[in-house]
Amino acid sequence: MAFEQGTASGVSDLFDKLSTFLVANGWTDRALTTAGTKGFARTAATDPIEVQFRWDTGTPANVGVYHSLGFVGVGTAPGSHTDDSGQGVISGTNATLATGRHVALVNSTMRYWFFEEDYYCHVCVEVNVGPPSQIVSFGMGNLVKLGTYTGGAYCYGFKRSGVASTGIMIDGSILLDGLASGTAMTPFVATLHAELLAGQTAAEEWYLVWADSTAAFQGTDRAGDDRHFVQGGFRGGLPARFFARPSAQAVAGLIPMYSIPLYYRNIVPSPTHVYPLGHMPDVFGVNIEWFNPGDEVDVGGQTYVLFPSWRNNLGGGNETRFQGMAYRKIP
């Protein structure tokens, strides 16, 4: 278990630093040989984690995020490993990478925060010091599971897009994001590995964290098998709906945080059946109206680091307002 805060000079340097950090804490760097790629594995996790990343070495910015169940070899590009989830475009071109799951970085100085335990690694990066400071996040890990189903490994990137003339953000996918919906968002959202839940065949291994409820399947993985969906997450479900409103205030000793759960909604039978699957470890939602990115608070003897989910509200529109994330800091 570990925490690191520092500064990277660009995309490659950020992933080199992440590699050093993870290897020191028991993860495996897959040592991919294709330029502009990284792959990490944690075989000791509850559900083994295999995640790869890729960026354009000529124009390093958008970093594709891929999630697989196996590893072919160091010469195989991200997105082409065993049982890949189908998220992330198999491409080394910056503009094309932006059309699938990715995290939008900058190839210049970035502050970063790494949060690690045996069963997860969560990353926050400041891509613009502002004002306003702008934060992007990505990561992988295992749910704190409810039940004994096979699976529990998740992976997420960060996608925001906006109107260039106004800077207003119009859609996005953040953490395990239960608010993203519609076919336009399907290529970007988080994935969860789970097998043989109700109504699922043996060949179907992937779920998208998605908000719609009108379709049983959300495209296919690289093998052509259907993907189902799960709901809840950071911006969806009851915890976010009811507990994200009160603002945290350290002076008043009030830091209301809410967990980030996922639910499987089997829409085949009538009535619909809902199954709780678990929640993200050591990450919570919080209203950060009175905090700055990277501020630390103590809650019950535990230290948490607070960030906006993108940037604090600047006056309306579809900004992220004061929606924030709290990560447990484990020295």
Full pLDDT tens readout for the chain, 331 residues: 799 999 999 999 999 999 999 999 999 999 999 999 999 999 988 899 999 999 999 999 999 999 999 999 999 999 999 999 999 999 999 999 999 999 999 999 999 999 999 899 999 999 988 777 889 999 999 999 998 899 999 999 998 765 545 555 556 778 998 777 778 888 999 999 999 888 788 889 999 998 776 666 788 999 999 998 898 888 876 666 666 555 656 644 567 888 999 999 877 767 778 889 999 999 999 888 888 889 999 988 899 999 988 877 655 555 667 888 999 998 8
For residue 269, being part of any structural domain is answered with: no
Alpha helix (H) ranges present in the chain?
Answer: 11-24, 94-97, 238-243
For residue 101, being part of any structural domain is answered with: yes
**Distance between CA atoms of residues 14 and 156, nearest Å:** 17
For residue 174, being part of any structural domain is answered with: yes
Q: Which one, of 101, 111, 121, 105, lies nearest residue 1 by Cα? A: 121
Q: Which one, of 277, 265, 154, 159, lies nearest residue 214 by Cα? A: 265
For residue 18, being part of any structural domain is answered with: yes
For residue 256, being part of any structural domain is answered with: no
For residue 196, being part of any structural domain is answered with: yes
Strand order from edge to edge, sheet including 120-128: 2-8, 110-117, 120-128, 134-142, 150-156, 191-195, 206-209, 228-232, 261-266, 273-279, 144-145
pLDDT at 8: 98
For residue 273, being part of any structural domain is answered with: no
pLDDT at 246: 56
**Distance between CA atoms of residues 138 and 151, nearest Å:** 20
**Distance between CA atoms of residues 187 and 89, nearest Å:** 9
Domain that holds residue 175: 2-231
**Distance between CA atoms of residues 311 and 320, nearest Å:** 6
Asked whether 329 and 287 are in contact (CB, 8 A), the reply is no
315, exposed or middle or buried, with CB in 10 Å at 0-12, 13-18, 19+?
exposed
**Confidence (pTM):** 0.93
pLDDT at 117: 93
Number of neighbours of residue 177 by Cβ within 10 angstroms: 27
pLDDT at 183: 81
Max Cα distance, the chain (Å): 55
pLDDT at 52: 98
The number of domains in the chain is 1
For residue 162, being part of any structural domain is answered with: yes
Phi, psi dihedral angles at 15 (to 5 degrees): -75, -30
Q: Which one, of 261, 324, 260, 259, lies nearest residue 296 by Cα? A: 324
- Scan for tokens 């859609």, then name that residue: 171
